[in-house]
Amino acid sequence: MSSRLLPRKHQHLAGIAVTSGAWWAGSAQAVEQATSSAAQAAAAAGGYVPSPYEPGWEVWVGFVAGVVPFAIGSWEFGKRIVSRWQARGKLAPSRSC
């Protein structure tokens, strides 16, 4: 890609390689190179290897706070659907209630 074909604000993108006509091929190579250079830099800086992520209680509370309203809404909406089906005669009333 020629830099003269790009607007001035996008000329820094002219060096991105796209191989075999696939736009993701160039980005995958760039990610791989960045990852390997980051690993080399970490090894040179003393061999720091980050530990696996362990989510704290805040993550779990946030997960529950995000899921509970959808669960309750699904239940309530399901009750509305069933009651409309029963009103139209498309669903026999449940005898277990």
* Beta-carbon count within 10 A of 74 CB: 10
Would the pTM count as exceeding 0.75?
no
Give pLDDT tens digits for 22-74. Answer: 555 566 676 666 667 766 776 676 766 677 888 899 999 999 999 999 999 99
CB 18 within 8 A of CB 25: yes
pLDDT-derived band at 5, boundaries 50, 70, 90: low
pLDDT at 79 over 90: yes
